[in-house]
Structures are given as C-alpha cells and as structure tokens.
Structure 1
Amino acid sequence: MNAEIIAVGSELLLGQIANTNAQFLSQQLAELGINVYFHTVVGDNATRLEAAVKAAQKRANLIIFTGGLGPTKDDLTKETIAHLLQRELVMDQEALRSIEEYFKRTKRTMTENNKKQALVLQGAEVLKNDYGMAPGMALTIASITYMLLPGPPKEMRPMFIQYGRPFLMSKLERHERIESRVLRFFGIGESQLETEIADLIDQQSNPTIAPLAGDGEVTLRLTAKHESSLEAKKLLDETEAAIARRVGQYVYGYDNDTLFSKLVERLKEQNKTVAAAESLTGGRFTAELTAISGASQIVKGGVVCYTNEIKEQVLSVPASVLATDGAVSEPCAKLLAEHVRSFCKADIGISFTGVAGPDPLEGKPVGTVYVGISISGQETEVHALLLSGDRETIRTRTIKYGCFAILKKLTASL
C-alpha cells in the first residue's frame, strides 16, 4: 500500500494547532510496512477538499482523513467524500445510541445537529469512537481504501490502534514491517558527512539512508523493510556498521537522544559530577542539564560569570590575566574551568567564554569562543572555536560543543 494522509481543518492552516495526527499515523503505517509519500492539509472547504482527494486518488491506494467529522456546518469531510464516491450517508444506530448516552451521562441537552455525527458512508466498516462521539469509517472502492478518522488526537489515536490498524492489516497481502533508526552526529557538517558516505547513499535500496541537518547537528535516518522485524533490524545493524567505520567518531546517540541526555547518562554511569562557569552562555549549559530528570546526581553547580568582576571575585581569575589576555582568551577559559571545578568540588569543570555578538569584544570577532575542560587528574584542555551564525545560534552551538567535548573525554577514558 502507498498512503496519503489528508488532514482537514482551517485551524491547521492558520497555525493554531500542530498536525500531530499525521506524524502519529505515519509512524503507525511504517510499522505495518505501508509507504507514506504525501501529507496534505486542507481547510474546511468542500471544493478544495475535493481537489485534494482527486490528487490523492492518482498517487495512493490508501487515503486517510483526519478531522471534519463533527456536528457543525464546517465539518464536511464525510459529506465531501460521499459526493465524490457517489455513496449515501446512512445513520449508524449504534453510534447514535452512543451519542445519546453521552449526553444523558453528562446531563447536557443533545441538539439536532449532533445526530449528524452518527452518519456514515453506506457500506463502510464503522470504527467505534470509545473516547468521543463521531465514529470513524473505512471502505474500499475501485482498489482505493478510504479511512475517515476524527480530528482530536485523544479520539483518533485509540480509534486507529484499536480498529483502524486491524482493518488495514486485513487488507495487506504481505505484512512487511518498516524499522527506522536515527543516528545522531555532532562535530561534522552535513556536506562532509554526505561526502564521507556518498557511495553508501548512492547504493541504498534497503535500508535507505536519509541525511538531515539542524541546529548544529546532523542526523541520518536509516529505514529498512522486511516481513521479519528481526531481519529488518539486522539490515539496519549492517548499514550502521558500514557508516560507523567511516564516521563513527562523530556519533553520539540514537533516535530521541540529545547531547545533554547522553551526557547525563554517561556521567551517571561513571559516577562523575560536573560544574560550569558560563560567561557568554549565561547559564544555558547548566539549564539544559538540569532540565533532565536525575541531573541532581551529576550537576554540582555553576557560576554565571558574565562580568569580569565575577570572574575575578568569585572564580579567582587574576586581574592581570583579564587585563593582559582578556576575558575572551585561552588563559581565562583554562582558569575558569579549573576554578569552578574546585569551587563546586566537582570531578569535571567546564567553562564558556567568547563573543556571541552582535558586536566584537576585546578586539575579537563575533563567534570567537573558548571552551575549557578541567578533569580531575588530567591536564586542562581549552578548545578555541570560531562559530558562525546569530547570537542565539552561537550560544547554542557553544554549549553543544562543550557537551560533546566532555562526552568524548569520558568515552576515551573507558
């Protein structure tokens, strides 16, 4: 099956709500081995919805609709589909009873237009709504399967899992599964990564390899299809191993991992603690770590040393260093990392000092950054960076770089 998901609702186009239904359904369909090639969003307009359906009929044999099954005049999905397919809408008595019982249970008055929600396409398999009023429905006409689901996620998701998914499984001749795995990289750009594995991408068929860049990081999504979930995972393992032989040193995690969640995890594993001295980052590194559950075990504390006075008075950076080398310098970063580690009695001290912009500082251009890392029993390292982007981009990339640098140090010590 090749599927298209059509979300109906002007509120989606206005940006008032996010289309999370399409994301959920794509994930569910992937598990069934059903390809999703198009997502469409259309407003509450019969003419435009008809055009969207006609386009989908030319490129998909499964069309799933979400939204537009409610009681109001702008809920017109099933009426539009009925007109296109030349099918009557008939009253589903079980759905009607369920709606009437809902109003009795909530002691509310049922208006006449609520009966509209119990109308279904003639001949369709009715999908029960256990968490709302409007039922869903599914039917196949001329080799195309149409499935209509309610818009509210709390109704749509359980309906699809309980009733929609089994309906589709009954239609599949082969029960292939699609397994995906996301590899997360830092310290390598998208273009360099693609260059390193260009031949693997060119040769891809099963699994497929899809690069994606964003926010200073790069990801590769590997997708394998097989009737056996174990065999699909084996294909992913083989492809991942081939990629790791080329660029494995830049991989920090999988799927929903973040640099900060991995750092918390690794510090817990090694029973180590960290403290941060933050100048240009203004506490963002510490904030990212402490946002993760369990961070209290590994974060000892931090100092936002935004001014030279705090660098000197709290973290004991000599005035001579600040006068001679400057706050944005390797010597300053080194001392900040060492002194915050000592001050907070942590195993690891990290410092961030630099120029986030918009103007140069101490004669140094925007994007000049120094990250110091002091680990008990090891020589302190200072990483000199020259980052591009606006103020927020530089600050974000700075803390991510520091996070990745500690991760590499911890991995090297294993």
Structure 2
Amino acid sequence: MKAEIIAVGTELLMGQIVNTNAQYIAKGLADVGVGVYYQTVVGDNASRMKEALGIARSRADLIICTGGLGPTQDDLTRDVLAEFLGRKLVMYGPSMDKIAAFFEKRGTPMVESNARQALTLEGADALPNETGMAVGTAVTQDGTHYILLPGPPREMKPMFDHAVKPWIESRSGHVMPLFSVMLKFAGIGESFLENRLLDLIEAQTDPTIAPYAKEGEVAIRLTTRAASREAANAKLQPLEAEIRSRVGDHLFASEDITLEQQVLHMLSERGLRLAVAESCTGGQLSDLLTAIPGSSEAFAGGVICYTNGLKHKLLQVPMDVLEGEGAPGAVSEETARLLAENVSRVTEADFGLSITGVAGPSESEGKPVGLVFIGVHGYGRTEVVQVQQSGNRETIKLRSAKSALYHLWKLLKSQL
C-alpha cells in the first residue's frame, strides 16, 4: 500500500506553524507496514485542495488529510472530499451530542457553525475524537482509502493511534511492518562516514541503509520488514555489527538521541557533574545542555567569559597569558586549558569543558576565522584539541559546541 499525506492549512504554507503531523503519521504508518511515498501541503483553498486530491489518487492507495475539520468557513476539507467523491455530508450523532453537551456544561449557547464539526461523509466510518470536537472520517472508494483527521496534534495523535491504525490494518491485508535501528555518530563528517560504508550502501537490498546529517552529528537508519522485532533484529544485527567494526569509534548511540543527551546520560549514570566555560560560542553549549529535561542532575552550570576581563576576573586566567607581546592570547591552547581546569575547580564539578576561538566574521589576534581550541578536563588530566571550523558565525558556534561534546564523550567512553 502506497500512502500520501496531505496537510491542509495556509498557516503551514506561510511557515507560521511546523508540519509535525506528517512526521508523526509517517512513523505510525511504517509501524503497520505502509510506506509513505509523498507528502503534500496545500492551503485553505477548495480548488487547490481538490487538485491535490486528484494528484494523490493517481499515485497512492491511501490518502490521509490533516486539518480543515474545524467550525469556521475556511475549514473546507470535509466539504471538498465530499464533492470530490460525489457523496453527501451527514451528521454523526455521537459527535453532535458531545458538542451540545460541551456548550451546555459551559452554560453558553452553541454557535450554529460548531455543528459542522460533527459532519462526516455518507457511508463512511466515523473516527471518534477523544480530545476534541471534530469527528474524523475513513472511507474507501474505487480502491482508494481516504482518511480525514483534525489538525491540532493533541487531537490527531490519539485518533491516529486508536482509530486509524486499526482501520488501516483491517484493510491492508498481511503486510509485514517496518523495523528500524538508528545509529548516531559524531566527530566524523557525512561524506567520510559514507566513504567508509560505501560498499555496504551500494550493495544494500534488505536491510536498507539511509544516512542523515545535521550539524555536528550524522545518523544512519537501518530498516527492514519482518513479522516481529525478534525477526527484524536477526536481520539488522549482522549489518549493525559490520558498521560498528568500521566506524564504531564515532558511534555514540544506537537510538535516536542527540549527542548532548548521551553525554548527560553518561554523566548522570556515574553521578558526575560538568561545568563549562564559553568564549566564542557565547552560551551555545550551555543552551544545548539545558534544553534537555533533567540536565541539572549532571550540569552544574557555565560561565560565558566573552571578554578577556571576565576570563581573568571570574576564571583566573592570567592577563599575561591573554594579552601583551608574546602572550599566547585568548584564542590559544593555554587559555583553553586554564578555562577548563578553573571552571571545574570554581564550580566544584568533576569535569570542565571550555571553548575559545574565532567565530568571525573577521580575524582576531591575527588568527583565522574558525580556529577553535577546546579544553576537556576530567579524571585528573586536561586535554586541549585544536580544530578548524568552516561556515558562517552561527555554524562555527554550533559546530564548536558539538565538537566539545564529542571530545567529552570520548573521555567518558574511555573510562567504561
């Protein structure tokens, strides 16, 4: 079965909200063995919606629409599909009763347009909405399955899990579900990783290998169809073992988590705490860490010592290291070392991590844009790594923060 997801809403096209529904539905369809071949976003316009449905019908067996089931005049999805299929709209009694009871409980009169949320297509299966008003619709016509779901994720997700999945499974026959393993890597570029695995990628059949990249991390998804997780593991594990044998030194997780999540997990698991001293990254590293819920268990805090004065006053880096003729300077191995050691000492943390460098757009201290020194202090020793980053100012900051986390991860891993 080939599926297409059509997200309806002008706010999606304008970038006012992110289309998280498509991601959730695509993952859920994979669980029941249905592949998503296309995703479409269309505005609240009847003619364009009808055109999108026509295109989808020509290339998909299952069409899932989200959005446009509310009470207002621009909520057109159910009306457009009814016209597209030549079916009438009918009132679904249980939903109408729920809507009426809601307004009665509030003691306010129901606006007539709210009744639109109880409409479904004649002859279709109604999909109950546990958390909202708008009823969903599931119908098959001329061999194509159509499903309408509301746009708000808090309504769409439970409807999809509790109603849509069983409905699809009852009509898709015996299709084995997809199972995946996500391998996450750091400290290695996408092209270099691909080169190390090129023969496996070129020869792939089942399982399949799909690389993904974002700043500072690379992921590989291994996917197969199988009757059970146990059967899938039997197919996936030999390939995963071969990948580990080639690039395992860069593999920080075998699940879809970020590098900062893994570092914090390793610290928390051992009862250890981290403090950071940031210069050129300006708090980027601290932001990555504190974005993780529960990070306070392992993250003591950080110092943004952007100026030489603060490096000296707060973290006791001598001025003759930072400035003056013959001084190493703020962007140097010596400064990175002292920042990492001193932030650990001042905060009484087990580890100190420092970043000092040139984020750009121009040189500093006669040193090139992208030159960064990372200090990692822990287990009674300090290591300083020099890296040359590329990209614009924001890219250099993010890559430097991720690089610092990678080198801390390596230190933590070495003590396993």
TM-score class, shorter-chain normalisation, is over 0.9
| Counterpart Cα distance in 2 of 1:304 and 1:236 | 44
| Counterpart Cα distance in 1 of 2:247 and 2:147 | 43
In the alignment, residue 364 of structure 1 is paired with which amino acid? K
* 2:96 aligned with 1:59: no
CA separation of 1:47 and 1:268: change in aligned 2, threshold 3 A: same
Tell me which residue corresponds to 1:267.
267
| Counterpart Cα distance in 2 of 1:365 and 1:151 | 49
In the alignment, residue 246 of structure 2 is paired with which amino acid? R
CA separation of 1:275 and 1:59: change in aligned 2, threshold 3 A: same
Secondary structure of 2:374's counterpart equals strand
| Counterpart Cα distance in 1 of 2:332 and 2:409 | 23
CA separation of 1:68 and 1:196: change in aligned 2, threshold 3 A: same
Secondary structure of 1:193's counterpart equals helix
The answer on whether the counterparts of 2:71 and 2:114 sit within 8 Å (CA) in structure 1 is yes
Q: Can you list the C-alpha shifts for 1:139-168, whole angstroms capped at 9, x where unaligned?
A: 111111111122222222222222222111
* 2:272 aligned with 1:311: no
The answer on whether the counterparts of 1:9 and 1:43 sit within 8 Å (CA) in structure 2 is yes
Query: Could you tell me the TM-score, scaled by structure 1's length?
Result: 0.93
The answer on whether the counterparts of 2:10 and 2:44 sit within 8 Å (CA) in structure 1 is yes
| Counterpart Cα distance in 2 of 1:318 and 1:8 | 60
Secondary structure of 1:219's counterpart equals strand
The answer on whether the counterparts of 2:216 and 2:403 sit within 8 Å (CA) in structure 1 is no
After alignment, is 118-127 or 337-346 more displaced?
A: 337-346
* CA RMSD after TM alignment: 2.0
Aligned ranges 1:4-403 → 2 under 5 Å:
4-322=4-322, 323=324, 324-378=327-381, 380-403=382-405
| Counterpart Cα distance in 1 of 2:252 and 2:144 | 43
Aligned-residue offset at 1:7: 1.3
| Counterpart Cα distance in 1 of 2:280 and 2:232 | 46
In the alignment, residue 52 of structure 2 is paired with which amino acid? A
Query: Could you tell me the TM-score, scaled by structure 2's length?
Result: 0.93
Secondary structure of 1:265's counterpart equals helix
| Counterpart Cα distance in 1 of 2:284 and 2:45 | 45
The answer on whether the counterparts of 1:174 and 1:227 sit within 8 Å (CA) in structure 2 is no
Q: Can you list the C-alpha shifts for 1:109-140, whole angstroms capped at 9, x where unaligned?
A: 22333333333222111112232322111111
In the alignment, residue 387 of structure 2 is paired with which amino acid? L
Secondary structure of 1:388's counterpart equals coil
Aligned-residue offset at 1:193: 1.2
The answer on whether the counterparts of 1:69 and 1:75 sit within 8 Å (CA) in structure 2 is yes
Secondary structure of 1:99's counterpart equals helix
Tell me which residue corresponds to 1:409.
411
Aligned-residue offset at 1:301: 4.3
The answer on whether the counterparts of 1:3 and 1:63 sit within 8 Å (CA) in structure 2 is yes
CA separation of 1:337 and 1:116: change in aligned 2, threshold 3 A: closer
| Counterpart Cα distance in 2 of 1:298 and 1:150 | 40
In the alignment, residue 58 of structure 2 is paired with which amino acid? K
CA separation of 1:109 and 1:250: change in aligned 2, threshold 3 A: same
| Counterpart Cα distance in 1 of 2:97 and 2:313 | 74
The answer on whether the counterparts of 2:32 and 2:177 sit within 8 Å (CA) in structure 1 is yes
Secondary structure of 2:366's counterpart equals coil
| Counterpart Cα distance in 1 of 2:148 and 2:21 | 12
In the alignment, residue 23 of structure 2 is paired with which amino acid? Q
After alignment, is 184-193 or 125-134 more displaced?
A: 125-134
List runs of 5+ in structure 1 lacking aligned partners. Answer: none
After alignment, is 93-102 or 38-47 more displaced?
A: 93-102
Q: Can you list the C-alpha shifts for 1:345-368, whole angstroms capped at 9, x where unaligned?
A: 333222211111111111101111
CA separation of 1:377 and 1:104: change in aligned 2, threshold 3 A: closer
Aligned-residue offset at 1:64: 0.9
| Counterpart Cα distance in 2 of 1:30 and 1:71 | 32
Aligned-residue offset at 1:291: 4.0
The answer on whether the counterparts of 2:260 and 2:288 sit within 8 Å (CA) in structure 1 is yes
Aligned-residue offset at 1:72: 2.8
Aligned-residue offset at 1:287: 4.0
Aligned-residue offset at 1:224: 1.8
CA separation of 1:86 and 1:293: change in aligned 2, threshold 3 A: closer
Q: Can you list the C-alpha shifts for 1:384-404, whole angstroms capped at 9, x where unaligned?
A: 111111112111111211111
| Counterpart Cα distance in 1 of 2:267 and 2:245 | 26
CA separation of 1:57 and 1:294: change in aligned 2, threshold 3 A: closer
Secondary structure of 1:58's counterpart equals helix
After alignment, is 106-115 or 37-46 more displaced?
A: 106-115
| Counterpart Cα distance in 1 of 2:47 and 2:144 | 21
In the alignment, residue 340 of structure 2 is paired with which amino acid? A
The answer on whether the counterparts of 1:2 and 1:34 sit within 8 Å (CA) in structure 2 is yes
List runs of 5+ in structure 2 lacking aligned partners. Answer: none
CA separation of 1:13 and 1:319: change in aligned 2, threshold 3 A: closer
The answer on whether the counterparts of 2:279 and 2:306 sit within 8 Å (CA) in structure 1 is yes
Q: Can you list the C-alpha shifts for 1:150-206, whole angstroms capped at 9, x where unaligned?
A: 222222222222222211111121142212222211111111111111121122222
The answer on whether the counterparts of 2:183 and 2:256 sit within 8 Å (CA) in structure 1 is no
The answer on whether the counterparts of 2:217 and 2:259 sit within 8 Å (CA) in structure 1 is no
In the alignment, residue 344 of structure 1 is paired with which amino acid? T
Q: Can you list the C-alpha shifts for 1:253-296, whole angstroms capped at 9, x where unaligned?
A: 24442222211111223333333232222333234334434433
| Counterpart Cα distance in 2 of 1:71 and 1:375 | 59
Figure out how many residues of one structure are paired with residues of the other and give that number: 413
